Amino acid sequence: MRNRFLIFLLLGFCALTDVVFTGCESAVQSTQNNKTSFAIVVDPVTKQKVESSILAYKEMLESEGLKVYVLSDNWASADTIRETLKSYYHSKPQLEGAVFIGDVPIPFVMDAQHLTTAYKRNPGRYPLHIAAIPSDRFYDDFDLEFDFIEKDSVRPLNYYYSLAVNSPQYVRSDIYTGRIKPSIFPGEDKYNLIEAYLNKVVSLRNNTELDFLMTFTGHGYNSNALTAWAGEKLALREQFPELYTTRGRIEFLEYRMDEFMKPFLLSRLQDPDLDIAVLHEHGAPEIQLINGTPDVSSVPASIENIKKYLRSKLRVAKDQGRSLSKTKQDYMARYEVPEAWFDGTFDKEIMDQDSVYSYNMDIYTEDVHEISPEAKFIMFDACFNGSYHKDRYLAGEYVFGKGSTMVAFANSVNSLQDKWPNEMLGLLKWGVRVGNWAKQINTMETHLIGDPTYYFKTNSTFDYNKVIATPGDNRSVWEELLTAEDPDLQCLAISQLSASLDSDFSNRLRELYFSSPSFVVRMEILKQLYHYNDQNFKQVLGAAVSDPYELIRRTAAGYIGDCGDDELIEPLLKIIFDDNYSKRVRSNAYGSLDFMDPDALTQALPAIAQKYSYVMNSSVLRDQLLKRVAQNKKKVTDYFEYAAADTSVMKYRMQEIRTLRNYYYHFVADDYARLLTRDDLDNDLRKALVEAFGWFTHSVQYENIVKAVGEVAVNENLPEDIRQEAKRTLNRLAVFNPSARLMVTPKL
């Protein structure tokens, strides 16, 4: 009966939409020769314009064992596409991925900022097209549930949705997706670009072995920490050992290597032998930030840096209509500089020189438009480089340009620095499709631009794509890969076996952490135990602050702040006293310090400082920390009292409450929980506080928070929108609560 239902479902879809090339009959024909399936989703105009190229792309994929559906329609909403893809996923052969070509609806998701790494725009201040997240998780994570809001009347591809209250509150993509939507310069025809790109994909298929990888680290990334930079190189050696031999090539570039790295970086990206480029930078939709103000030691060069800075600030003041004389006086007083250092600010020659200097520090879409990028796969670790919802965006300029770049991994909105960008990247050397790799690490903002089915040639005879596409059928494979020699295959197995949140496997993860020699395996274990949030997690977390791998220490420092447990005070202070030169680790540790119980810190600090008395000036550091803790306690307590007082200015009360989305002050969480249930609390503030508590997933005050939010959820005297927000927060909190696993629907 189930098969008959699927047949009728597919026949029904054929009647409702234009299924090109495959036709209705092929949609239900025998699939015994196909391992999995793939969907090409294309708008009618693009289909008509580039039909022969789409057909060639389809035939190429079918030659690789995929059953290919080509779907085209004038869609009334994105829901139709999603439901069709979902039906194929539950059919045989199972859908493994999809690509959206041309003008396919773009879902923008509200109420899901907690599923990004960093995006936290205030929906009360910004319109939907800015406050919402452009995300194809709408299409590829079928367990997520959405409520339709509206279609944009000005931006016809934008469809706005809210993540439903009862939806799972975590991302775990069922299929992979990609966008073939070019970046457009004036005078260019997007259909010509799509056609040229598809022809390129077909002509260059399966002729590249992965033997050259390049990484670049831009100014300001990971706080310019050399220990972070070095740690990545050691981890990549585990993931790509063959690149460190005479049979391969790996190159590490960094902004400090030249005052202007832009020319060399653009040259390297055009190297025909380059296979993967990993670009760690800050950015925007049309810019990669490469160099900062140069680090100099000579007095003349230092003065020139300051002069450039002062001239730029004076020009900004003029653009904003502020007083130039007052601006000068303010900077002269602040930095004790002479007025002469502002000379030439508005002289055309100097303005042109400063402009050229600034332009040469960064890469713009105009620069990429003029070159031929050759890296087959590019990872953009910057904010907004993957803003595919815009007409021009940087990742699209690389992929749909004149070179051989096939696919990019990039962010549609801003992104956190302290994530693990290279997680399981070594899977690509085993012939894993870029899409099957990407779906292991998806967040709401990550997207593949270009062909998601791209893969590198491999000598492996095992079909990793098949087992990744059908993970629930392959537990025995994951168990076997758990002991594989390749660390990224181990990481894949750890991720898949952790999906069930089985407590026995948590014990195995703890044991494996303390026995594994691999940086990346231990990092994967720490990440997965974070989802378990049990005693094994706490035990590993306490040890992780001493791990040789900088990223593990850095992540652990942040995780401690997520928890706020007193038992983690000593590991946290160990970082501050004993890991002084791991700049980013120390930064995260200080951030977490402010979230901990100040009374417990004050009590623990003297003994811990004595333990690290061998550290130079440990007593001075102890006193500085005691002062910081006392000041932070007063500041946070004052903020709470301000937020709680009816006499305070509403705007700033709201600001203090929304701050809790980024700053987990556990030691006042109980106070805020009591405030939440106060009858006279303004309902706008109540709703904002309920939402903010959704970020306290690991808090030591978890039970008090859940109790207070639960009271709001069932309080029929409160408006429906507040009660719904409370239910959403309870679902978010349940994801990481060992005693509430029944509220979660993990996938394996």
Closest alpha carbon to 588 in 416, 736, 705: 416
Distance CA 283, CA 4 (A): 51
**What pLDDT shows up at residue 236?**
98
Distance CA 607, CA 612 (A): 9
Residues 433-442, mean pLDDT to the nearest whole number:
97
Instruction: Tell me the chain's radius of gyration from C-alpha atoms.
Output: 27
**What pLDDT shows up at residue 392?**
97
Q: What is the pLDDT of residues 648-698, one digit of tens each?
A: 999 999 999 999 999 999 999 999 999 999 999 999 999 999 999 999 999
Residue owning tokens 């036709």: 23
Q: What is the pLDDT of residues 92-131, one digit of tens each?
A: 999 999 999 999 999 999 999 999 999 988 887 899 999 9
Token pair, residue 204, equals 């260059």
Residues 452-465, mean pLDDT to the nearest whole number:
95
Residue 579 predicted with pLDDT over 80: yes
Three-state secondary structure readout of 316-382: HHHHCCCCHHHHHHHHHHHHCCCHHHHCCCCCHHHHHHHHHHHHCCEEEHHHHHCCCCCCCEEEECC
**What pLDDT shows up at residue 207?**
80
Residue owning tokens 């932070």: 632
Residue 10 predicted with pLDDT over 60: no
Residue 158 DSSP SS3: strand
Residues 508-534, mean pLDDT to the nearest whole number:
97
**What pLDDT shows up at residue 737?**
83
Token pair, residue 76, equals 């009334």
- Asked whether the CA dihedral 469, 491, 180, 160 is positive or negative, the reply is positive
Distance CA 512, CA 285 (A): 41
DSSP states along 497-532 = HHTT--HHHHHHHHHHHHH---HHHHHHHHHHHHHH
CB atoms within 10 A of CB 182: 27
Residue 554 predicted with pLDDT over 70: yes
**What pLDDT shows up at residue 739?**
65
Residues 597-609, mean pLDDT to the nearest whole number:
97
Strands (E) across 413-571 are located at: 446-450
Q: What is the DSSP letter of 261?
A: -
End-to-end CA distance of the chain: 25
**What pLDDT shows up at residue 294?**
87
The answer to whether the CB of 122 falls within 8 A of the CB of 658 is yes
Give percent helix, percent strand, percent coil of the chain, each to the nearest 5.
50, 10, 35
Distance CA 320, CA 163 (A): 39
Token pair, residue 690, equals 């309920």
Closest alpha carbon to 122 in 718, 693, 659, 732: 659
H helix and E strand count, the chain: 32, 18
Amino acid identity of residue 729, one-letter, is T
Closest alpha carbon to 214 in 452, 384, 376: 376
Residues 630-639, mean pLDDT to the nearest whole number:
98
Closest alpha carbon to 509 in 477, 540, 463, 553: 540
Distance CA 536, CA 553 (A): 17
DSSP states along 192-204 = HHHHHHHHHHHHT
Q: Which residues, at least 6 apart from 20, have a Cβ–Cβ distance to it below 8 Å?
A: 47, 51, 70, 71, 72
Residue 563 predicted with pLDDT over 90: yes
Q: What is the pLDDT of residues 735-747, one digit of tens each?
A: 998 765 433 333 3
Q: Which residues, at least 6 apart from 143, have a Cβ–Cβ distance to it below 8 Å?
A: 167, 168, 172, 174, 745, 747
Distance CA 639, CA 655 (A): 10
The half-sphere exposure of 405 on its side-chain side, counting CA atoms within 13 A, is 33
Residues 206-222, mean pLDDT to the nearest whole number:
93
Residue 283 predicted with pLDDT over 90: yes
**What pLDDT shows up at residue 623?**
97
Residue 545 predicted with pLDDT over 70: yes
Residue 748 predicted with pLDDT over 50: no
Token pair, residue 420, equals 């693990």
Distance CA 53, CA 747 (A): 36
Q: Residue 424: which region, alpha, beta or left (left: phi > 0; alpha: psi -120 to 50)?
A: left
Q: What is the pLDDT of residues 12-63, one digit of tens each?
A: 333 333 343 333 222 323 334 678 999 999 999 999 999 999 999 999 999 9
pTM: 0.92
Instruction: Name the percent of the chain lying above pLDDT 90.
Output: 89
**Please, what is the Cα angle at 386 between 382 and 389, to 5 degrees?**
145
Range from 25-34, 36-45, 446-455, 561-570 carrying the lowest mean pLDDT: 25-34
Q: Which residues, at least 6 apart from 292, have a Cβ–Cβ distance to it below 8 Å?
A: 219, 220, 255, 361
Closest alpha carbon to 728 in 702, 710, 716: 710
Q: Which residues are registered as beta bridge partners of 69? A: 39
Closest alpha carbon to 375 in 398, 352, 343: 398
The per-residue pLDDT of the chain, averaged, comes to 92
Q: Residue 158: which region, alpha, beta or left (left: phi > 0; alpha: psi -120 to 50)?
A: beta
Distance CA 705, CA 707 (A): 5
Residue 292 DSSP SS3: coil
**What pLDDT shows up at residue 11?**
31
Residue 228 predicted with pLDDT over 90: yes
Residue 396 predicted with pLDDT over 60: yes
Distance CA 435, CA 451 (A): 8
Range from 37-46, 219-228, 565-574, 686-695 carrying the lowest mean pLDDT: 219-228
Q: Which residues, at least 6 apart from 178, have a Cβ–Cβ distance to it below 8 Å?
A: 97, 98, 99, 100, 407, 435, 447, 448, 449, 450, 451, 452, 453
Residue owning tokens 């990549």: 236
Residue 412 predicted with pLDDT over 90: yes
Residue 542 predicted with pLDDT over 80: yes
Residue 6 predicted with pLDDT over 60: no
Distance CA 735, CA 114 (A): 12
